[in-house]
Chain A
Amino acid sequence: DIQMTQSPSTLSASVGDRVTITCRASQSFYTWLAWYQQKPGGVPKLLILKGSVLESGVPSRFSGSGSGTEFTLTISSLQPDDFATYYCQHYSSGSPHTFGQGTKLEIK
């Protein structure tokens, strides 16, 4: 089964910063990777699908890239609303759709 390792687990940043979160897979797969945002007490929200496709309604400051075993989520200029926890998830067929362990984005 494919395991997903996210880094860092916690990230401290300021409004306006550019931040990158990395997700590494134990096996290579096509771009069957999604990124989700979860705010405290809230339901996870899909941000990016297929590695780099921005979900409808998600601000363009969010972007995804990567393929194979390494994927990244970048927020180009942090806004106050972006402080949350972010998860990657692969959804390739034939393997459980494992989530990464999450990255908590905190205000510095």
Chain B
Amino acid sequence: EVQLVQSGAEVKKSGESLSISCKASGYDFRYFWIGWVRQMPGKGLEWMGITYPDDSEIRYSPSFQGQVTISADKSITTAYLHWSSLKPSDTAIYYCVRQDGGSSYRHWGQGTLVTVSS
């Protein structure tokens, strides 16, 4: 069974750095694109980007390019989303997602709430 288990909620201050994680299991982590979707409070879903763990290729949405860093460590089957300097507008739920072989996103993590205060 495919499982994506995300790290817990975070409360941070503006300007701080943060990494959240997504531990994958139940499949060969190396060969499926895995990435992140943002949902700001009361708003819709925004695709941020994905990475292919086997060769570390990363594809970002232009809206998030330069704002976050997506990475994956295939040795521990874990994907990461990193901010070097958080802003209050980064307050959102972040979902880890796995793409099915060039297709849709069947598998989602439980979400990680990130709250950033000024």
Contacts and interface: CB of A to CB of B under 8 A. Distances in A.
Interface stretch (A11-19, A66-74, A75-83, A92-100): A92-100
A8 interface: no
Contact of A46 (B44, B63, B104): B104
B29 interface: no
B104 A87 contact: no
Q: Which of A44, A45, A91, A97 has the most chain B CB atoms inside 10 A of its CB? A: A97
B108 A43 contact: yes
Q: Which of A45, A50, A55, A99 has the most CB of B within 10 A?
A: A99
Given A44-B95, A50-B103, A91-B104, A96 B62 contact: yes
Contacts, number: 63
Given A1-B62, A43-B108, A96-B59, A91 B45 contact: no
A55 B108 CA distance: 15
Contact of B102 (A36, A87, A89, A93): A93
Interface residues of B, number: 24
A54 interface: no
Contacts of B104: 34, 46, 49-50, 89, 91
B83 interface: no
Given A1-B62, A43-B95, A44-B95, A99 B106 contact: no
Interface in B50-77: 50, 59-63
A49 B107 CA distance: 13
B105 interface: yes
A97 B47 contact: yes
B105 A89 contact: yes
Interface of B: 37, 44-47, 49-50, 59-63, 95, 99-100, 102-106, 108-111
Interface of A: 1, 32, 34, 36, 38, 43-46, 49-50, 55, 85, 87, 89, 91, 93, 96-102
14 contacts: A32-B103, A36-B45, A43-B108, A43-B111, A44-B45, A45-B108, A89-B105, A91-B105, A96-B60, A96-B62, A97-B50, A97-B105, A99-B44, A99-B46
